[in-house]
C-alpha cells in the first residue's frame, strides 16, 4: 500500500497506463493514507466514496485505452475551490455548511482530465495567513519536525493543508492558491514543489475570492515534473473569468528538457536582507552555483522597490478583500446570526462568522478605501505596485529568470509569531513581489536547515513563461537531490 503513495504523480500515471496497478488500488491506498494522516488535520473534508467512484470510471477508461491526462490520480483540493455539492468552507465559520451548486473551473478541468478527488484541504481562513493557524477549524501540523525537538510546527500558509497532505504522502498532488506566497511558502516549509503560474493562466472562477488582482491557483506536488503535469490540466482560457488569458497553453512537461545552458539567471541584490539567516544565504549561493554548473550565467539585478512590496500588499490585498468579503451577509448562504434589524443581523453575522485576522484585514481594507484616505493609501499603493512591476521589466532586460530564497526562514512552531501580525506578514517578503507583478514563480526544495527542516529556492519568470521557470526549477531539483523525508508519513508506523 505505502509503495503506491510513495509514487510521484507522473510515475503513478505511467504505472496505471502500464497496468502495474489499478486506479482503484491507487485510490484505496490514498484513502487509507488520508485517514492515517488525520493527526495532521490537513483535510477538512474527506470524500472517499467520490474517490472510489471516480477511480472506477478511470479503470473503465484505462481498460478501453481511453485514458485522460490525469486518469486515476488522487488529489487534494484546497478548500477555497468550490466543489459541487461538496462542503466548501474557505476555512471560515461563515461558510460552514455551504455546499456550492457549481464546480470551480480549475477543479472541473482536473476532473475532466480524469483526476480523483480525495477531499478538501485545510487552509488559513479565506487564505489570509502564512502559518495555517487562522483556520476556524484548527491549525494544520507540518509533517516535519526539528531534529531533537518534538514541538509541532506550522506547514506555512495559506495552502498549509495542501502542502502537509502532499508532503505526508496523503495525496499525489494538491491544488493551492497564492495571493502573496500561499503556494510557494508552504511548499518551502513542507519540502515540496509549489508553483504559482502567471496571473491569468488559471481561471479564478469558482475560487472563493480573497484579493482578485493577486489570487492565482497553482499545483503543489513532490516534483517539478508533477507540477508541470498538473498545471497543464489546471490552465487554460475561461470566458467566465474576464482576467483569464486567452492564450494557448504550452506543453509544460515537454519544456523540461534539462538544458539551461546560456540561461541568464538574475540575482536581485535587494533580496539580501539584513538579518537573513546564514543558512538561507548559503543555500541561495549553492543554488547559484548549481545553475552555473548546469551552464547558466548568473547576473546581478536590482529590484529597488522590494522593501515596499509588503506594505503595498497590505493595502491592496485588504482593500480588495474588504470588497470581496462584503458578500458574506447572512442572506444568501452561510452563517446567519439573528439580529433585530437587517443591519444588526449583518453586523452580528460578520462579527461571529469571521475570525480575528479576517476581521482585522477587512477593517484595514475598509479604512484605506474610506473617504479621505483612498488617495493616500490605495492609490499610493497602486503607484508603488506599478514601480514594482517596472523593476521586474527592467530586470528581465538582462536576465531570463530570477533566483531567490522562497522564505526568510524554515517552518516555525505553532503559536510562534501569532501575536505579532507584522512578523507573520514578513514570511512573504520574497514571494509577494511576484503576485504584485503578476509573474510566475516556483518553489523547489533545495536543502535542509541546521535543525533538519526543508528550505526552498524560488525561480521567478517573465509573464506567461512558465516553461522557463519549470525548466530552471527542474535543474535545481536535479542538482539539489533532495531526498529527505518528513518525520510523519501517512500509514507508516
Q: Which residues are catalytic?
A: 78, 158, 182
> Which span (160-168, 189-197, 330-338, 477-485) binds another protein, by CB under 8 A?
330-338
Query: CB of residue 238 vs another protein: minimum separation in angstroms?
Result: 11
Query: CB of residue 364 vs another protein: minimum separation in angstroms?
Result: 6
- Residue 212 as a binder of another protein (CB under 8 A): the answer is no
- Residue 308 as a binder of another protein (CB under 8 A): the answer is yes
- Cα–Cα separations (whole angstroms), residue 175 to 115, 202, 206, 484: 12, 11, 13, 23
- Residue 359 as a binder of another protein (CB under 8 A): the answer is yes
Residues 3, 261, 343, 397: which binds another protein (CB under 8 A)?
343
- Residue 423 as a binder of another protein (CB under 8 A): the answer is no
- Residue 327 as a binder of another protein (CB under 8 A): the answer is no
> Which span (63-71, 179-187, 295-303, 434-442) binds another protein, by CB under 8 A?
434-442
Residues 333, 468, 479, 485: which binds another protein (CB under 8 A)?
333
Residues 171, 174, 245, 476: which binds another protein (CB under 8 A)?
245
- Residue 340 as a binder of another protein (CB under 8 A): the answer is yes
Side-chain half-sphere of 359: how many Cα atoms within 13 Å? 13
3-class SS letters over the chain: CHHHHHCCHHHHHHHHHCCCCCHHHHHHHHHHHHHHCHHHCCEEEECHHHHHHHHHHHHHHHHCCCCCCCCCCEEEEECCECECCECCCCCCHHHCCCCCCCCCHHHHHHHHCCCEEEEEECCCHHHCCCCCCCCCCCCCCCCCCCCCCCCCECCCCCCHHHHHHHHCCCCCEEEEEECCCCCHHHHHHHCCEEEECCCCCCCCCCECCCCCCCCEEEEEECCHHHHHHHHHHHCCCCCCCCCCCCCCCCCCHHHCCCCCCCCEEEEEHHHCCCCCCHHHHHHHHHHHHHHHHCCCEEEEECCCCHHHHHHHHHHHHHHHHHHHHHHCCCCCCCCCCCCCCHHHHHHHHHHHHCCHHHHHHHHHHHHHHCCCCHHHHHHHHHHHHHHHHHHHHHHCCCCCEEEEECCCCCCCECCCCCCCHHHHHHHHCCCHHHHHHCCCEEEEEEEECCCCCEEEEEEEECCCCHHHHHHHHHHHHHHHCCCCCCCCCCCCC
- Residue 429 as a binder of another protein (CB under 8 A): the answer is no
- Residue 387 as a binder of another protein (CB under 8 A): the answer is yes
- Report the site for another protein in 181-200 (rule: CB under 8 A): 199-200
- Residue 334 as a binder of another protein (CB under 8 A): the answer is yes
> Which span (23-31, 54-62, 350-358, 443-451) binds another protein, by CB under 8 A?
350-358
> Which span (58-66, 248-256, 348-356, 469-477) binds another protein, by CB under 8 A?
348-356
Query: CB of residue 455 vs another protein: minimum separation in angstroms?
Result: 26
Query: CB of residue 187 vs another protein: minimum separation in angstroms?
Result: 22
> Which span (138-146, 360-368, 407-415, 475-483) binds another protein, by CB under 8 A?
360-368
Distance of CA 203 to the CA centre of its chain: 15
Residues 246, 248, 258, 262: which binds another protein (CB under 8 A)?
246
- Residue 335 as a binder of another protein (CB under 8 A): the answer is yes
Query: CB of residue 165 vs another protein: minimum separation in angstroms?
Result: 27
- Residue 205 as a binder of another protein (CB under 8 A): the answer is no
- Write the Ramachandran bin of 451: left for phi over 0, alpha for psi from -120 to 50, otherwise beta: alpha
> Which span (3-11, 147-155, 238-246, 275-283) binds another protein, by CB under 8 A?
238-246
- Residue 393 as a binder of another protein (CB under 8 A): the answer is no
- Report the site for another protein in 90-119 (rule: CB under 8 A): 97-99, 101
Query: CB of residue 157 vs another protein: minimum separation in angstroms?
Result: 18
Residue 93 or 487 having the CB closest to another protein: 93
Query: CB of residue 129 vs another protein: minimum separation in angstroms?
Result: 15
CB atoms within 10 A of CB 304: 15
Reference 176, options 202, 150, 153, 200; nearest CA is 202
Residues 118, 229, 230, 384: which binds another protein (CB under 8 A)?
384
Residue linked to cell 486506479? 23
Residue 255 or 387 having the CB closest to another protein: 387
Q: Which residues bind another protein (CB under 8 A)?
A: 97-99, 101, 199-200, 213, 239, 242-243, 245-246, 305, 307-308, 311-312, 314-315, 322, 326, 329-336, 338-348, 350-351, 354, 359-360, 362-368, 370, 377, 379-387, 389, 421-422, 436-438, 463
Amino acid at each position: 500500500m505505502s509503495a503506491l503513495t510513495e509514487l510521484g504523480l507522473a510515475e503513478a500515471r505511467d504505472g496505471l497506463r502500464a497496468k502495474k496497478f489499478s486506479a482503484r488500488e491507487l485510490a484505496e491506498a490514498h484513502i487509507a493514507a488520508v485517514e492515517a494522516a488525520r493527526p495532521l488535520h490537513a483535510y477538512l473534508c474527506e470524500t472517499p466514496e467520490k474517490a472510489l467512484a471516480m477511480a472506477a470510471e478511470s479503470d473503465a477508461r484505462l481498460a478501453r485505452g481511453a485514458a485522460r491526462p490525469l486518469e486515476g490520480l488522487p488529489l487534494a483540493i484546497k478548500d477555497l475551490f468550490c466543489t459541487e455539492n461538496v462542503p466548501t468552507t474557505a476555512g471560515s465559520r461563515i461558510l460552514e455548511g455551504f455546499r456550492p451548486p457549481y464546480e470551480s473551473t480549475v477543479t472541473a478541468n482536473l476532473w475532466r482530465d480524469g483526476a480523483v478527488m480525495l477531499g478538501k484541504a485545510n487552509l488559513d481562513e479565506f487564505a489570509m495567513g502564512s502559518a495555517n493557524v487562522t483556520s476556524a477549524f484548527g491549525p494544520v501540523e507540518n509533517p516535519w519536525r526539528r531534529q531533537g525537538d518534538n514541538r509541532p510546527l506550522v506547514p506555512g500558509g495559506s495552502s498549509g493543508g495542501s502542502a502537509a497532505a502532499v508532503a505526508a504522502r496523503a495525496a499525489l498532488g494538491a491544488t493551492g492558491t497564492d495571493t502573496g506566497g500561499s503556494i510557494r511558502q508552504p511548499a518551502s516549509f513542507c519540502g515540496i514543489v509549489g508553483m504559482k503560474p502567471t496571473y491569468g493562466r488559471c481561471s479564478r472562477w469558482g475560487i472563493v475570492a480573497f484579493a482578485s488582482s493577486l489570487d492565482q491557483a497553482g499545483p503543489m506536488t513532490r516534483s517539478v515534473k508533477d507540477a508541470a503535469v498538473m498545471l497543464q490540466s489546471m490552465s487554460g482560457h475561461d470566458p467566465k473569468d474576464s482576467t483569464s488569458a486567452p492564450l494557448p497553453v504550452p506543453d509544460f512537461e515537454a519544456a523540461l528538457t534539462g538544458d539551461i545552458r546560456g540561461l541568464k539567471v538574475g540575482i536581485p541584490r535587494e533580496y539580501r536582507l539584513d538579518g537573513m539567516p546564514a543558512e538561507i544565504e548559503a543555500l541561495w549561493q549553492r543554488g547559484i552555483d548549481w545553475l552555473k554548473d548546469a551552464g547558466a550565467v548568473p547576473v546581478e539585478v536590482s529590484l529597488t522597490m522590494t522593501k515596499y512590496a509588503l506594505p503595498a500588499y497590505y493595502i491592496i490585498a485588504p482593500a480588495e478583500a474588504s470588497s470581496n468579503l462584503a458578500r458574506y451577509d447572512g442572506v444568501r448562504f452561510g452563517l446567519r446570526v439573528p439580529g433585530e434589524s437587517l443591519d444588526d443581523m449583518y453586523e452580528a453575522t460578520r462579527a461571529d462568522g469571521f475570525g480575528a485576522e479576517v476581521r482585522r484585514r477587512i477593517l484595514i481594507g475598509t479604512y484605506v478605501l474610506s473617504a479621505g484616505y483612498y488617495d493616500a493609501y490605495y492609490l499610493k499603493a497602486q503607484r508603488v505596485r506599478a514601480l514594482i512591476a517596472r523593476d521586474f521589466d527592467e530586470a528581465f532586460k538582462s536576465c531570463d529568470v530570477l533566483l531567490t530564497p522562497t522564505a526568510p526562514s524554515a517552518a516555525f512552531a505553532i503559536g510562534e509569531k501569532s501575536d505579532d501580525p507584522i512578523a507573520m506578514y514578513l514570511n512573504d517578503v520574497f514571494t509577494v513581489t511576484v503576485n504584485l507583478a503578476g509573474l510566475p514563480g516556483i518553489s523547489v526544495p533545495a536543502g535542509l536547515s541546521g535543525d533538519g527542516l526543508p528550505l526552498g529556492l524560488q525561480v521567478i519568470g517573465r509573464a506567461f513563461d512558465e516553461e522557463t521557470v519549470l525548466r530552471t526549477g527542474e535543474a535545481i531539483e536535479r542538482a539539489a537531490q533532495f531526498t529527505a523525508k518528513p518525520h510523519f508519513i501517512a500509514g507508516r508506523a
